[in-house]
């Protein structure tokens, strides 16, 4: 299966991804972000990178894709630095699996 790769984030952070061949989307409004992610998920994208700053605004949409094999929605820091949500998400999946955080 050949899938496309997309990155969603504010323009200042993610425009550089364009040079390496990733499709770039830069929605600003909360609704637009959600629509973009849902649209990408439908459009044969296998990996969607999204900056943490945008991901905080649409937590439900992100978690909805957790139990599906594709697409993989991966949080990345933006140029304002990391909010540590990415690591928190790993912790929360540990909690989900084990029942308590053992690491």
Partner 1 sequence: MARIKVNPTRMQMSILRGRLKTATRGHKLLKDKQDELMRRFIELIRENKRLRSQVEEELKDSFNDFLLASAMMSPEMLRQALAIPKQQVRVNVERKNIMSVNIPVMDFEYSKDVEQGDIYPYGYAQTSAELDDAIDKLQEVMSRLLELAAMEKAGQLMAGEIEKTRRRVNALEYRTIPDLQETIKYNRMKLDENERATITRLMKVKEIIAKET
Q: Does 56 bind partner 1 (CB under 8 A)?
A: no
* Residue 16: CB minimum distance to partner 1, A: 4
Interface with partner 1 (CB under 8 A), residue from 28, 29, 99, 100: 99
Q: Does 21 bind partner 1 (CB under 8 A)?
A: yes
In the block, which residue shows the tokens 């540990």?
A: 94
Q: Are 50 and 75 in contact (CB under 8 A)?
A: yes
At CA 78, angle to CA 58 and CA 28, rounded to 5? 45
Q: Is the dihedral of CA 10, 42, 55, 28 positive or negative?
A: positive
Interface with partner 1 (CB under 8 A), residue from 27, 34, 38, 46: 46
Distance of alpha carbon 85 from alpha carbon 19, whole angstroms:
26
Q: Which residues bind partner 1 (CB under 8 A)?
A: 1-5, 12-13, 15-22, 46-47, 49, 66-67, 69-70, 72, 74, 76-79, 81-82, 86-87, 89-90, 93-94, 96-99, 102-103
């Amino acid at each position: 299966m050949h899938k496309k790769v997309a990155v969603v984030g504010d323009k200042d952070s993610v425009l550089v991804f364009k040079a390496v061949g990733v499709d770039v989307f830069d929605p600003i409004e909360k609704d637009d972000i959600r629509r973009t992610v849902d649209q990408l998920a439908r459009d044969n994208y296998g990996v969607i990178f999204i900056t943490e700053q945008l991901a905080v605004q649409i937590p439900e949409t992100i978690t909805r894709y957790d139990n599906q094999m594709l697409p993989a929605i991966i949080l990345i820091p933006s140029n304002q630095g990391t909010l540590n949500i990415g690591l928190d998400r790993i912790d929360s999946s540990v909690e989900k699996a084990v029942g308590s955080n053992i690491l």
